Amino acid sequence: MQSLKIISAIFVKDLRVEWRNRETLGSMCVFGILVVFLFNFAFEPGREESLRLLPGLLWISFAFAGVLCFNRSFAGERENACLEGMAVAPVDPGLIYLGKMLANLLFLGIAEGVIVFAAGLWYNFSFVPSLRWFTLITFLGTVGYVAVGTTFGAIAANTHMREVMLPVLQFPVAVPVLIAGIEASTGALKGDPPSSYAGWIKLEAGFAVIFTVLSYLLFEYVLEE
């Protein structure tokens, strides 16, 4: 019960900060939409091709939007020595991680909704028939992506090349979740039976569980000064 209170305190604090400055979500959505928009010039996809390319395009814009989110998540904490405050707070650092992670998950989830909406509109693609599976795939993939991203965001906040360091750390580690997300989404959007991409969904779930637990355990060391 106490732990839930701590997690929700961090979570609500992040939402409140976001509500007051509205920087992270706005920049994530605009950036994600820009990736979808530029992609149109790069490939000029027709109806058939867009179906083939859409999952990859979506996950790449999710990945870039996520990096923005994780960067902002801890960059803000450096001001006024909030990070030090968190480090000395008499609570389990893992709970701080979970609170941060949930906030990032919510932000990235909202941005993904906007990106998917824009992509559906521009490429005349209806996500409705496969919405249930596509949502599950995106959710699980995003949990795994955010799980490592939150930790790396905190690590990158300690470096003096934050903007470069985060993607360099994040993308190699996130390769499995990106592959699984793209493959499973392709299957779901094509309308294949779920059994054909169930393996990928399991991989996403496994990745999410492993890295959430690992980050929960290691976050103590990331925070310590």
Site of interaction with other proteins (CB under 8 A): 148, 151-152, 155, 158-161, 165, 168-169, 171-173, 175-176, 179-180, 183, 199-200, 203, 206-207, 210-211, 214-215, 218, 221-222, 224-225
Return the number of the residue (34 or 82) whose C-beta is nearest other proteins: 82
DSSP 91: S
Neighbours of 165 (CB within 10 A): 18
Closest contact distance (angstroms) between CB of 15 and other proteins is: 27
Return the number of the residue (33 or 166) whose C-beta is nearest other proteins: 166
Closest contact distance (angstroms) between CB of 172 and other proteins is: 4
Closest contact distance (angstroms) between CB of 162 and other proteins is: 9
* Cα dihedral sign, 183-129-192-51: negative
Return the number of the residue (17 or 180) whose C-beta is nearest other proteins: 180
Q: Is there a contact between 223 and 93 (Cβ–Cβ < 8 Å)?
A: yes
Closest contact distance (angstroms) between CB of 70 and other proteins is: 14
Closest contact distance (angstroms) between CB of 216 and other proteins is: 12
Percent composition of the chain: helix, strand, coil (DSSP 3-state, to 5): 90, 0, 10
List Cβ neighbours of 134 (8 Å cut-off, separation of 6 or more).
127, 185, 188, 189
- How far apart (Å, rounded) are the C-alpha atoms in residues 162 and 134? 32
- How far apart (Å, rounded) are the C-alpha atoms in residues 18 and 102? 14
Return the number of the residue (130 or 186) whose C-beta is nearest other proteins: 186
Return the number of the residue (79 or 225) whose C-beta is nearest other proteins: 225
